[in-house]
Amino acid sequence: MDIDPDDIFRDDDDPENEFYQERDATKEMLVYLVDASPKMFSTTCLSKNEKDVSHFEVALSTILPSLKTQIINRSYDEVAICFFNTREKKNLQDLNGVYVFNVPEREDLDRPTARLIKEFDCVQESFSKQIGSKYGILPGTRDNSLYNALWAAQALLRKGSAKTADKRILLFTNEDDPFGNIKGVTKMDMMRTTIQRAKDAQDLGISIELLPLSRPDDDFNVSTFYADLLGLEGNDLAEVKALAAERFEDMKDQLRKRMFRKRKVRRINFIIANGISIELNTYAVVRPTNPGAITWLDSVTNLPIKAERSFFCSDTGALLQEPPKLFQIYKNENIMFTADELSEIKRVSTGHLHLLGFKPLSCLKDYHNLRPSTFVVPSDEEVVGSTCVFIALHRSMLRLKRFAVAFYGSSTHPQLVALVAQDEIICTRGQVEPPGMHMIYLPYSDDIRHIEELHTDTTPLAPRATEDQIMSAYSLIKRIDLKKFSVCQFANPALQRHYAVLQALALDEDEMPDVKDETLPDEEGFARPGVVKALEELKLCVYGENFEQENDAAGSGKTSEASKKRKAISDNATKEYAKHEWSDLADNGQLKELTVSELKYYLTVHNLPVTGKKEALISRILTHMGK
Amino acid sequence: MARNREGLVLVIDVGPSMHALLPEVEKVCCLLAQKKLIYGKFDEVGAVAFGTADTKNDLTVEVGGYENVTVLRDIKVVDGDLVDVLQQLPRGSVHGDFLDAIVVGMDMMIKKYRDTNKGKKRLCLITNAVTPTKDPYEGTKEDQVKTVAAQMMSHGMKMDCIVVRAKQDWDVDKKIVEENDFLLTILSNKSSSKVYVESATSLLGALRTRNISPVTIYRGDFELSSKMKIKVWVYKKTSEEKFPSLKKYSDKAPPTDKFATHEIKVDYEYRSIEDPNRVVPPEQRIKGYRYGPQVVPISSAEWDAVKFKPEKGVKLLGFTDASNVMRHYYMKDVNLFIAEPGNTKAILAISALSRAMKEMNKVAIIRCVWRQGQANVVLGVLTPNVSEKDNIPDSFYFNILPFTEDVREFQFPSFSNLPSSMQPNEGQQEAADKLVEMLDLYPAGKEEVLQPDLTPNPVLERFYRSLELKSRDPSASVPPIDVTLRKITEPDTELLDQNRAVIEEFRRAFELKENPKLKKSSRRIREKPSGSNEGDGIAGGGQAMDATEHTSEVKVEKIGDSNPVQDFEAMISRRDSPHWVSKALQSMKNKIFNLVENSFEGDTYQKAFECLIALRKGCILEQEPKQFNDFLYRLNKFCQEKHLGCFSDFLASNNVMLISKTEAPERFDLITMFDLFLRLVRLLAPHLFTKCSDIPEIEARLFPLKEEPKK
């Protein structure tokens, strides 16, 4: 159903493409467990825009953006929202004080839907009416809402095996001592059963994370109770808050970015020399992300449609089956090839990677590139010892500053490649560059164009910058230095816009969101006096005093001639145009008696295209007149 | 169409010193013609050969001189005849003068086009430039060349010089070479390009076989800031030349219909998935985008209203250290930024920036929107391209960088965390170091091997060759990959041979074995090693044999001129009829005789030798030792009769031996062999003894011959 007619015949059948598409990967199952006790509503803290908001609102406003990104990034992950300490109850086990929030057409734990997000967005207004807040752990009753909540969450996460799914509970609360109201044996008992409940859940492979909400004057004391519940000790305990704070930020400001699970593209053999061959796995680490597959719908019913392809003989109009032969016109003859012959032609080598030799890194020029690179790492799965050989070569190549040239004999795109060793780079946040080799696809001589020589005839001796000019460029470069530049620091503005629009339309949001284009130059930075001065100096040094004039005058050598000519034509046309009574001619059908150049006067004057046959010109004129 | 037609004259040196290379020259010129037949049907091509014994050109008639320059073909629209002409270039017998030939080519061009077709006129000179040019009647050679260059420029002609510098430049006069180089440099400084090639593979890549008139993808300002702008033009620097897309063939048209296109139209019909009987007209379709499990329909009009619409322009974001932008982040094909041609100030500004960047090892990060209405911005890096030629201005390469969304943060294990069994020890590391150092594709003082700029695409070459074969015989099968191009797809046997010890050491240092736990997919495990080749001299043949097996099964029916060894191997391994073996052996013998007989100062000896080695190998494989041994005798005798003694020497110095019993045990006839040996020694030995002083060494060389019969 996803066939796009333009796509079917695309010739560049990149064999790797099929591998980029997502599949039902290992998914994450997440239960948001939100405390809805009166304390969550009564305590407030300052939000970013200096307004008092309740902790409950803070929790909701954290979950909402997180849901919105999740539906784009990892839409196959499942999620449930569960409130506890509520007046009403709604859950499978019919436990008191637990309310599982859901919308129709959706299981309690399921993929997020637009409707879920939409209704969750306004849950706060209807909260007191429909769900209500009521603290569940009171003396005199045996009710334990926290216990119930954990139990309900655990029950929600029962589906799916722990092996294929990552199951988590995110607990939002501002009550560090949930059993504060209870005393004596009952308290001990309740605490014990609750902790046991949490432990059971953890034994089932469910991880519980706490996101404590606290006020400056009333710090959330993790060690009062939750440390035991989460099984935290020592260092972990100290870090819990810092982590939680980070977590809050992360959830709010996540970039919409489709996540791909790490999957190898394919396994290849790397033949080093006679009889030495190791096994490599290839990965697509850098690939342009597209907005995702399009499903064609019938605009009347909004139901999906499928495309059916049929072949017709252009000579006879007969319906054909899939044609067996292809042809190329050559010397005015149709030369036929079968599909087998074509693939035979492309099979210039076996589907392996053949090492051809090594070259110094300086031989790899900046213009030796055609496609995104592929990352290769060794694997001992089939050939034991591959990793050892690979590491040895990797180190040698790094040390000797050399890269390997190899021939990659893939069946559709046999190509010369450069294998560039990349050492591991680690920073505090983790691995920045993984260790391995990058396979860079090299162009053939047929793919390289000699543009530099194109304009040599106009410049017998090319001007070269003087020392002074280079020096002023030098100081400019020093001024505008992006010290911390990292290759992927910019989000794709079109893609972000796409996601934002999609979200707005799906959720019926009134306003079209405004996405910031991070790729625009830093205006403030460029306005710094130092930068401005350096720019002015370079300008003065190269262009002299009258930059504006020069810049306008230069390059106009050619264009001015063309524009003069254009102007002359239009002047002439205006003059000639006046000679005819166009409307009359059109009415009497006499336009066809005029010459093409006469017709063109009309078109020129009205800024219409002047190309085409006479009939086309006439019909264009008539259309323009509205006749 | 016709506006873009190119006028091209191929000026080819066919003098004796070029003979060894002419097969490659033929190949590359044919490829050029074949490509033109598809992509430039209106282009016009002429061909001039120089170094021929004959003379045939207008100038010699009109003004005299210009000897030994033959016009093979006047400038005409490309056709099949051109391919025929280029496929069989004459073998000249005199040393030609390339200047004369260039002038003849220019004259053809001027007469044909006068002042029209400016900038679309190209001369292509292929020569090794080792023979002297004649002194002009007046003035110096330098003046003459300058006049030629000036003429060329005034007529808007360009010239590509391909100068072949083979490794074994026999007895070349250094002075002549230097003078020629100097003269060619004068020419190339004006309006042409010059490339030196050393290997046959690079020769195939050096000729620009397809002429694409480049178009700018952007013309406008490069904004350093809102106040400082430089006028630039942006072109594509690399762009993949795709495999031609063939049309689908329909055989429905009656054979009598001469105007049948035989094309096939593809039609799409859209049907509702739920109700397959309901057809949806194409304009009633609407695009749906996934949002979670739902699909949100969004019409293109809606999109247009809200989508991201960047303003056209190229803006600087800043400069950064080159090391911050790693090579593997380059996303696509490469563009070139040049200053607006003719705009001196812009050229200076680009020059200043690129030179400063190069010196400081910096790159520029820029944001580009090439056209108004482009769907997205492009973020990329400018790297300096400082020109080394005086007439070419400095420029920048532009590579596209990924956005955050495009980089997948996969984690991989650190090598240092892997178990020690996977870590190379000192000895292994040393072996790897040696391999990386010795398996060198850029040896000092030599041409860089497999330089992308000079490496042709073997697949395209094979396609066009196949097309040509099929145009002659529609049932022709796909030809095997060309021997010269096999150097691209497989390691160079010469290089491997040179480093046999290093490779052997590397192999011994590491232990590789199949994982015993895995039984399946053993298919993919190591290819069988190409086998220990008997005798060093035969190594090349052995490799080639293995390679043919996996690349192609072809039905070769005769031994051609270009790849006799390959043809022979293909023919002898044909199993569809028993005749093929004897036919192959016989044809190969004839071929060798021909080669030896028709050689000029030994230029075909190498080829003949290769054929002989292949024949020897074939005879061993087919257990026909007598055939080879008899032939070797006859060949030697033949050489003596025809006073071609130097070929016998050549064979002796290359250790070509009779086939011994160990090599062909089954069909070995001792008495015949002994008899043959005696005859051979009688024939060869006196000749050798008289020529060489070192008799013991010759005895040693003949020793294996002597020993065998005694057994």
Q: What is the pLDDT of residue B536?
A: 34
Average pLDDT for chain B: 77
Average pLDDT for chain A: 79
**Eight-class DSSP state of A86:** B
CB-side exposure of A216: number of CA atoms within 13 Å? 3
Please report residues of A whose CB lies closer than 8 A to that of B485: 348
Q: What is the pLDDT of residue A419?
A: 92
For range A400-414, the mean pLDDT: 87
**Eight-class DSSP state of A352:** S
Within an 8 Å CB–CB cutoff, is residue B665 touching chain A? no
* Host H or E run for residue B234: strand B229-236
Q: In this predicted structure, which of A434-438, B381-385, B561-565 has the lowest mean pLDDT?
A: B561-565
Number of C-beta neighbours around residue B710 at 10 A: 8
Task: Write out residues 395-414 of B within 8 Å (CB-CB) of A.
Answer: 395, 397, 399, 401-408, 410-412, 414
Distance CA A46, CA A215 (A): 9
Distances (CA, A) of A463 to A452, B354, B392, B419: 14, 13, 9, 59
Which residue among B243, B292, B336 places its CB closest to the CB of A114? B292
pLDDT-derived band at A91, boundaries 50, 70, 90: confident
Within an 8 Å CB–CB cutoff, is residue A315 touching chain B? yes
Q: Do A465 and B376 touch (CB under 8 A)?
A: no
CA distance B203 to chain A (A): 11
Please report residues of B whose CB lies closer than 8 A to that of A362: none
For range B657-686, the mean pLDDT: 60
Strands A402-408 and A415-422, bridge-based pairing: antiparallel
Q: Do B246 and A337 touch (CB under 8 A)?
A: yes
Range among A513-517, A532-536, B111-115, B176-180 with highest mean pLDDT value: A532-536
Distance CA B7, CA B330 (A): 37
Q: pLDDT of B402-416, one tens digit each?
A: 988 888 878 888 888
pLDDT(B698) > 80: no
Within an 8 Å CB–CB cutoff, is residue B352 touching chain A? yes
Strand partners, A35: A84
pLDDT-derived band at A420, boundaries 50, 70, 90: very high
Q: Is the dihedral of CA A72, A73, A77, A81 positive or negative?
A: negative
pTM of the model: 0.72
Q: In this predicted structure, which of A304-308, A374-378, A554-558 has the lowest mean pLDDT?
A: A554-558
pLDDT-derived band at B678, boundaries 50, 70, 90: low
Task: Write out residues 151-190 of B within 8 Å (CB-CB) of A.
Answer: 153, 156, 158, 190
Q: pLDDT of B238-286, one tens digit each?
A: 988 888 888 788 777 777 777 777 777 888 888 888 887 888 888 888 8
Distance CA A82, CA A99 (A): 6
* Higher per-residue confidence, A216 vs A521: A521
Contact (Cβ atoms closer than 8 angstroms) between residue A491 and residue A518: yes
> Can you point out the beta strands (E) in B279-386?
279-280, 285-291, 294-298, 313-321, 335-339, 362-369, 378-385
pLDDT(A5) > 70: no
Q: What is the pLDDT of residue A21?
A: 35
pLDDT(B692) > 50: no
pLDDT(B657) > 50: yes
Which tokens hold the place of A626?
């509205």
Is B372 exposed, middle or buried (CB count within 10 Å of its CB: 0-12, 13-18, 19+)? exposed
Of B613, B561, B646, B472, which is closest to residue B88 (Cα–Cα)? B561
Measured in whole angstroms, the distance separating CA B454 from the mean position of its chain's CA atoms is 7
Q: What is the pLDDT of residue A6?
A: 38
Q: What is the pLDDT of residue B330?
A: 92
Distance CA A188, CA A179 (A): 9
Distances (CA, A) of B685 to A252, B215, B616, B701: 93, 68, 22, 11
Task: Write out residues 380-439 of A within 8 Å (CB-CB) of B.
Answer: 380-389, 391-397, 399-400, 402, 404-405, 407, 409, 414, 416, 420, 422, 424, 426, 430-431, 433-436, 438
Q: Is A553 helix (H, G, I), strand (E, B) or coil?
A: helix
Please report residues of B whose CB lies closer than 8 A to that of A486: 324
Interface probe for B, chosen from A294, A344, A439, A487 (most Cβ of B below 10 Å), is A487
Q: pLDDT of B183-201, one tens digit each?
A: 777 776 655 667 777 777 7
CA distance B598 to chain A (A): 34
Give the long-range contacts of residues A42-45, CB within 8 A, separation 24 or more.
Answer: A43/A174, A43/A213, A43/A215, A43/A218, A45/A213, A45/A215, A45/A216
* Higher per-residue confidence, A26 vs A367: A367
Please report residues of A whose CB lies closer than 8 A to that of B450: 356-357, 405, 416
pLDDT-derived band at A373, boundaries 50, 70, 90: very high
Q: In this predicted structure, which of A345-359, A416-430, A450-464 has the lowest mean pLDDT?
A: A450-464
Determine the residue type at B425: N
ipTM of this complex = 0.75
User: How much of chain B, in percent, has pLDDT values that exceed 70?
Assistant: 80
For range B606-619, the mean pLDDT: 80
Q: pLDDT of B462-509, one tens digit each?
A: 888 888 888 888 888 888 888 888 888 888 888 888 888 888 888 888
Number of C-beta neighbours around residue B586 at 10 A: 13
Of B356, B558, B235, B182, which is closest to residue A476 (Cα–Cα)? B356
Q: Do A557 and B342 touch (CB under 8 A)?
A: yes
Q: What is the pLDDT of residue B397?
A: 93
Q: pLDDT of A103-144, one tens digit each?
A: 888 888 888 888 888 888 888 888 878 888 777 777 777 778
* Host H or E run for residue A279: strand A276-283
